[in-house]
Amino acid sequence: MTATAPQQAPAPDVSEPDGTRLVDRVLRMRELAILAVFLVMIAVTQAGNSEFLSEQGIKDLLLNATILVLVATGQSLVVITRNVDLSVGSTLGISAFAAGTCLQGGGSSVVAVLLAVLTGVGFGLLNGLLVSLGQVPALVVTLGTLYVIRGIDSIWVGSRQITAADLPGGFVDFGSGGIFAVPYLALIALAVLVATGYYLKHYGSGRELYALGSNPEAARLAGIPVRKRILAAYTFCGALAGLAGALYLARFGNVDSGTGNGYELTVVSAVVVGGVVFTGGSGSVYGAALGALLLTSVNSVLPALGVSSVWVLAINGILLILAIAVDRIVALRVASALKKRNVRHA
């Protein structure tokens, strides 16, 4: 009797599904398209105004985008989980005033920044607990906390105002300083952006945010700690809103009870324009950063071309509508690709 070697089982197919590959390709194309639009817009503006890309012009362009890039990065994680945080503008405002109050009282710049971040963490944690444990829709929760935080801010601040004259000179100089045309604040935002993008791509808990946003019930059945991930996303979003508040104070040196009003809508627009799908599960922080850079650049480009600033809101609205339309087209394309794949496999 001759023994025969057992046949080796065929290796499993580890290739990505067609639908996933399609989504990745479309998202990369969309980010490249945003970058192309931005570069064309800058080139046209430079052709019409030769001083636009001066060293100071580039620095102003980057400084204007820094705050929005930071908040959009945190918002991206929340939107990827199929939620939203409408309180980021209020969190930014109250965090900025907290940092300013600390500096007025003789505190160091490091302590002031940490206080702003911790303030943001506290409100982000509150949002996360209400959404994840309370099972209350994110839109309702964060709309409520938007007004709660704004009310606390108004009572605390009152008619007071913190100006650059009330702040340490080194703190204000840091907000406007940089290395050649690259501001220090932009380098901080870039470091946070790269670290967040790396985390989402290379860590299991980061990839689980995408799984949660794609199908919350399937993620729960797969053993993903859904509530814990949502709580972490909101806390991180609040922390970046707090950090953005401290950088806002350094950048402008002026904070009052109206700081951050309406900022949440600009943040959501930047995230959606940047390709983070509002229904969750796809997108990247790099796309959100490009969306923020594009929206803030519009504010600089129009005045440089002699166009009235009243068009800024209209253009932002058009970009948002186009982004939503593209999201719908992508969803239909992915559904069609998945249907064809299932038919082939059947």
At residue 43, the pLDDT reads 86
pLDDT tens, residue by residue, 132-157: 988 889 999 999 999 999 999 999 99
Q: Rounded mean pLDDT of 224-232? A: 93
Is the dihedral angle over the CA atoms 258, 260, 264, 268 positive or is it negative? positive
At residue 331, the pLDDT reads 63
Contact between 146 and 90 (Cβ < 8 Å): yes
Contacts of 196 (CB under 8 A, 6+ apart): 73, 76, 77, 285
Residue with tokens 């399937």: 218
Please tell me the least confidently modeled range out of 88-97, 141-150, 333-342.
Answer: 333-342
Residue 11 confidence class, pLDDT cut points 50, 70, 90: very low
Please tell me the least confidently modeled range out of 44-48, 96-100, 140-144, 250-254.
Answer: 44-48
* pLDDT higher at 273 or 13: 273
* pLDDT higher at 320 or 193: 193
At residue 338, the pLDDT reads 58
Helices (H), the chain: 18-48, 55-80, 88-104, 109-132, 138-157, 169-176, 184-202, 204-214, 216-221, 226-252, 263-273, 285-304, 311-345
pTM, full prediction: 0.85
Domains of the chain, CATH where assigned? 18-338 (1.10.3470)
pLDDT at 10 over 70: no
Mean pLDDT of the residues in the chain: 84
Please tell me the least confidently modeled range out of 34-43, 64-73, 311-320.
Answer: 311-320
* pLDDT higher at 97 or 279: 97
Calculate the alpha carbon distances from 210 to 37, 43, 148, 286, 325 in Å.
Answer: 27, 36, 30, 15, 21
Calculate the alpha carbon distances from 303 to 32, 49, 296, 308, 309 in Å.
Answer: 26, 10, 12, 7, 7
